[in-house]
């Protein structure tokens, strides 16, 4: 095992976990085993070497991936992750989860994912741009607005998407707005895209509160991760009156049982690049944050933060998965036995891909919508998916995760059957 693997946040093979989830869905929903075998494999996995000229004159060769899981319902869609712990199996699992997410939301997409093994925090702006443009050049024949549409993920943002858009467009000889989503507004991005994932999580929490006869302002929330998803979710929940008792970034977190001053935390992070030292809050580690007393725990960072080792110590009664795969299947079983309700990733963090779909549509039409229109359409889609999932978990007497995955897998299986096998 390499040093990088030893230090990885991944405790279990994520692709094997994703496939185990799929097999369980097949059993619960009585899906044809032949279809399960088809859906348990990724359609295509591309591995590339990315040589980059570094600022000191040396050349570093990075490894990158682009995986397409399924295209039965349309072109594949999925983010690109820059992180030291990226593995091919991690990218495969994320591509599979994207397939289910798109199907659950009713989007005409399949799932894909990309990743580069690097630490973007240690790269200069020039190095990051050169890496991105070379990576784009290496996968250029595998992406496109009718083939596979990337988006931001951990370690990437609108600036990275703009470089991909420009590199692809320069090679095609004209601007191709639909090749990526999550772009800056100045080059065809969509209003509402940046906070879309967090807003989708908020809509799920609001829907659940309604089912339980409660209001969002009656909940206390601990949020792990203070990047694009976690920071926006903290701001949105604070705006709805919820008590945000803890937030964290990759270096650690802060906790105040009476509530964090979220605007102050956002300003502190912007100014200092860290949450450490925030006034009127005590320091906690990311591991400690998982076990803090609160009504809702929202893991919005990386996978596998709730495992069989700590699931019995989680005090929250609701987990809202802002990240992909933050709860392992073995932890799921423990949480279910304890009566903890999990709002699964394919439902709770699907807001990002929904508004990515909106951006793709707007780019193809070259006609852009008002932010109020984007948010209203997002609410309609997420609220409908929540209601369908809630109804399915009641009908099958199962968990919200199994209900969400079941609906999604059934839809992809139906598309696969309808299209048939070629030749």
| Strands 76-83 and 148-152, sheet pairing | parallel
Residue 61 in 3-state DSSP? strand
Q: Is 180 inside any structural domain?
A: no
Q: In this predicted structure, which of 8-12, 176-180, 221-225 has the lowest mean pLDDT?
A: 8-12
Lookup: tokens for 219? 């909940």
For residue 154, being part of any structural domain is answered with: yes
Of 343, 373, 397, the residue at which a domain comes to its end is 343
**Has residue 355 got a pLDDT over 60?**
yes
Co-location of 262 and 154 in the same domain: no
CATH number at residue 269: 3.40.50.720
More confident residue, 217 or 1: 217
Q: Is residue 179 part of a domain?
A: no
Q: What is the pLDDT of residues 154-186, one digit of tens each?
A: 899 999 999 999 999 999 999 999 999 999 999
Total number of domains in the chain:
2
Tell me which residue range forms the domain holding 145: 3-174
pLDDT of residue 400: 97
Give the pLDDT mean for 350-373.
Answer: 97
Same domain for 167 and 279, yes or no, is no
Read off the pLDDT of each residue in 31-43 and give the average, rounded to a whole number: 97
CA 111 remoteness from chain centre: 12
Please tell me the pTM assigned to this model: 0.94
| Half-sphere exposure at residue 318, Cβ-oriented, CA atoms within 13 angstroms | 21
The answer to the question of residue 259 being in a domain is yes
Confidence of residue 6 (pLDDT cuts 50, 70, 90): very low
User: Do 132 and 239 fall within a single domain?
Assistant: no
Rounded to whole angstroms, how far apart are CA atoms 400 and 393? Answer: 6
Q: Name residues whose C-beta falls within 8 Å of residue 350's C-beta, 6 or more positions apart in sequence.
A: 101, 104, 105, 197, 200, 382, 385
Tens digit of each residue's pLDDT (9 = 90 or more) over 39-97: 999 999 999 999 999 999 999 999 999 999 999 999 999 999 999 999 999 999 999 99
Asked if 125 and 19 sit in the same domain, the reply is yes
User: Does the pLDDT at position 3 exceed 50?
Assistant: no
Which of 311, 343, 375 corresponds to the end of one domain?
A: 343
194: DSSP letter: T
Catalytic residue among 77, 101, 113, 183: 113
- Quickly state the pLDDT bin for 9 (edges 50, 70, 90): low
Of 342, 347, 341, nearest to 386 (Cα)?
347
- 135 with 234, same domain: the answer is no
What long-range pairs does 276-279 form, CB within 8 A, spacing at least 24? 276/251, 276/252, 278/254
**Residues 167 and 210 reside in one and the same domain:** no
Q: Is 276 left (phi over 0), alpha (psi -120 to 50) or beta?
A: beta
pLDDT tens figures, 391-418: 999 999 999 999 999 999 999 999 999 9
Q: For residue 2, is pLDDT > 80? A: no
Nearest to 65 by CA among 135, 12, 6, 124: 135
> What's the confidence (pLDDT) of residue 138?
98
Residue 225 has pLDDT above 80, yes or no: yes
Using the predicted structure, report yes or no on whether residue 386 has a pLDDT greater than 80: yes
Rounded Cα distance between 114 and 134, Å, is: 14
Using the predicted structure, report yes or no on whether residue 7 has a pLDDT greater than 70.
no
Q: What is the pLDDT of residue 16?
A: 94
Residues 124 and 249 in one domain: no
CB-CB contact of 28 with 396 (8 Å): yes
Same domain, 152 and 212: no
Say whether both 55 and 123 belong to one domain: yes
Q: Which residues pair with 61 in a beta bridge?
A: 51
State the pLDDT confidence band at 302, using cuts at 50, 70 and 90. Answer: confident
Say if residue 200's pLDDT is above 50: yes
Q: What is the pLDDT of residue 12?
A: 85
What is the DSSP pairing of strand 282-284 with strand 296-299? unpaired
CA 242/CA 244 separation, integer angstroms: 6
For residue 258, pLDDT over 50 is answered with: yes
The H or E element spanning position 76 is: strand 76-83
Please check whether residue 135 lies inside any domain of the structure.
yes
- Whether residue 147 lies inside any domain: the answer is yes
Annotated catalytic, 113? yes
Same domain, 49 and 81: yes
């Amino acid at each position: 095992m390499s040093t990088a693997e030893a230090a990885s946040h991944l405790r279990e093979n994520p692709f094997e976990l994703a496939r185990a989830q799929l097999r369980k869905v097949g059993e619960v929903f009585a899906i044809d085993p032949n279809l399960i075998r088809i859906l348990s494999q990724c359609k295509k996995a591309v591995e590339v070497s990315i040589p980059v000229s570094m600022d000191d004159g040396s050349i570093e060769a990075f490894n990158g991936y682009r995986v397409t899981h399924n295209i039965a319902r349309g072109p594949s869609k999925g983010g690109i992750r820059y992180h030291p712990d990226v593995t091919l199996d991690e990218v495969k699992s994320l591509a599979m989860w994207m397939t289910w997410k798109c199907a659950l939301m009713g989007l005409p997409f399949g799932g894909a994912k990309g990743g580069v093994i690097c630490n973007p925090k240690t790269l200069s702006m020039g190095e990051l741009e050169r890496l991105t443009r070379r990576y784009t050049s290496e996968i250029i024949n595998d992406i496109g607005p009718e083939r596979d549409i990337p988006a931001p993920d951990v370690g990437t943002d609108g600036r990275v998407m703009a470089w991909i858009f420009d590199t692809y467009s320069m090679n095609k000889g004209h601007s191709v707005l639909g090749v990526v989503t999550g772009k800056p507004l100045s080059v065809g991005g969509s209003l509402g895209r940046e906070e879309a994932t967090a807003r989708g999580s908020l809509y799920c929490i609001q829907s659940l509160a309604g089912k339980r006869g409660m209001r969002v302002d009656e909940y206390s929330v601990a949020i792990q991760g203070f990047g694009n998803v976690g920071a926006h979710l903290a701001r949105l929940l604070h705006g709805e009156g919820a008590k945000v008792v803890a937030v964290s970034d990759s270096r650690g977190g802060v906790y105040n049982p009476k509530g964090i001053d979220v605007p102050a935390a956002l300003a502190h992070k912007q100014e200092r690049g860290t949450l450490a030292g925030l006034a009127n809050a005590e320091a906690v580690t990311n591991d400690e944050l998982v076990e803090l007393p609160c009504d809702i725990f929202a893991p919005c960072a990386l996978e596998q933060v709730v495992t069989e080792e700590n699931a019995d110590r989680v005090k929250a009664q609701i987990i809202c998965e802002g990240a992909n795969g933050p709860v392992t299947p073995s932890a799921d079983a423990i949480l279910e036995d304890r009566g903890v309700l999990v709002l699964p990733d394919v439902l709770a963090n699907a807001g990002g891909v929904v508004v990515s779909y909106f951006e793709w549509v707007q780019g193809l039409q070259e006609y852009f919508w008002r932010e109020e229109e984007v948010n209203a359409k997002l609410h309609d889609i997420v609220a409908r998916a929540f209601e369908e999932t809630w109804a399915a978990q009641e009908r099958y007497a199962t968990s919200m995760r199994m209900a969400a995955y079941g609906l999604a897998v059934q839809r992809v299986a139906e598309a696969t059957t309808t299209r048939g096998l070629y030749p």
